[in-house]
Amino acid sequence: MATRIYFQSSGTPICTPAQDAAWEHKWNVEVLPCFPMKMGMGLHSRNPWLFSGAAPRDVLHYQFVCPCRLKAQTISGTVKGQFRAQEDSGSRLCRALMIKVYNPANSTFRGTLLSHFPDALVSEFPPAYSWEDHRANRFLPPAGTLLTDVTCQDGDILVIEIGARSFNPNNQSHSIEIGDASASDLPEDETTTSQFSPWIEFSANLQWVNATQINAMGVQAAYGIPPMLSINAMGLQVAYSLIPDVGTVQVNALGVQVAYAEEPDVFTRRVFPVPSRIMRLQSQWGKRKFPICLGE
């Protein structure tokens, strides 16, 4: 099963990795989270901005950091994606993309899955005049784009950098739309102009580490880290697996919680008798009460 990633138009990333040196133009980059599910963020495109320099020249627009932790695995196969984009008329811009595996614990990159900078102008962004909305669907990257195998460890994360490659040394400007508010995803074409959710999809079924958090005393302020954890002001906790139907959280009657990455084969439960008309509680000095049956 493939893994599709969606890109948030707002939010704070869990970390800010160094941006790759392959990008010649890196000022005013937006660093945002991305997830392997939709979070309902509004579709958004930054205001157009200008840059110039020797062609070809690569300009970084967004850096996306996925907070969902990867399990130890080797990521391989292919990747494809769809985004709506546009350029100032005559800018001669097309897609540019990097995908890396990053270890936030020691702030190092595990490896580069994709470094995609076309040798020639291909799938040029559609032109716009006076920056009215002329955005149209573009491959970013096209289907069948090969990844370089990267072996990752538990706790690694994905970092995806999206921008444009310019084949014009003069001033250029462009816009790439992000967000996932639309229930429909952009189709795989370069003709659609409708505003649907952009995405990138790995052919591999990426494996994620489940995450739940609670402190030792069970006292918890209200906060949420979708899709991993949501706690309301009363201290009631709802724990989620990163992948639906994977992972188990068990809470007993006293509110003591045990979280499992995978459901155990057998849960051991203590069974207490239900009081009835033939049951009494008897106590002895210095000992806890216990139930006894008096018989009919």
CB distance 123 to 200 below 8 Å: no
Whole-number pLDDT of residue 155: 97
CB distance 151 to 50 below 8 Å: no
Which tens digit of pLDDT belongs to each residue from 49-77?
667 778 899 999 999 999 999 999 999 99
- Count of CB atoms situated within 10 Å of the CB of 13: 20
For residues 154-178, average pLDDT: 91
Q: With bands split at pLDDT 50, 70 and 90, how would you rate the model's confidence at 290? A: low
Residue 84 has pLDDT above 90, yes or no: yes
Residue 152 has pLDDT above 60, yes or no: yes
Helix (H, G, I), strand (E, B) or coil at 268: coil
Share of the chain above pLDDT 70, in %: 68
Average per-residue pLDDT for the chain:
81
Is pLDDT larger for residue 67 or for residue 89? Answer: 67
Residue 231 has pLDDT above 70, yes or no: no
Which value, to the nearest 10 degrees, does the dihedral of the CA atoms of residues 176, 116, 152, 82 take?
Answer: 40
Q: With bands split at pLDDT 50, 70 and 90, how would you rate the model's confidence at 277? A: low
| CA-based nearest residue to 59, from 147, 145, 198, 174 | 174
For 40, left (φ over 0), alpha (ψ -120 to 50), or beta? left
User: What pTM does this model have?
Assistant: 0.73
Q: Which of 82-86, 171-175, 243-247, 253-257 has the highest mean pLDDT?
A: 82-86
Give me the domains of the chain, ranges plus CATH numbers.
Answer: 3-202 (2.60.120)
Q: With bands split at pLDDT 50, 70 and 90, how would you rate the model's confidence at 173? A: confident
Residue 192 has pLDDT above 90, yes or no: yes
Residue 264 has pLDDT above 80, yes or no: no
- Beta-carbon contacts of 226 under 8 Å, excluding residues fewer than 6 positions away, are 35, 39
For residues 183-203, average pLDDT: 97
Whole-number pLDDT of residue 215: 46
CB distance 35 to 227 below 8 Å: yes
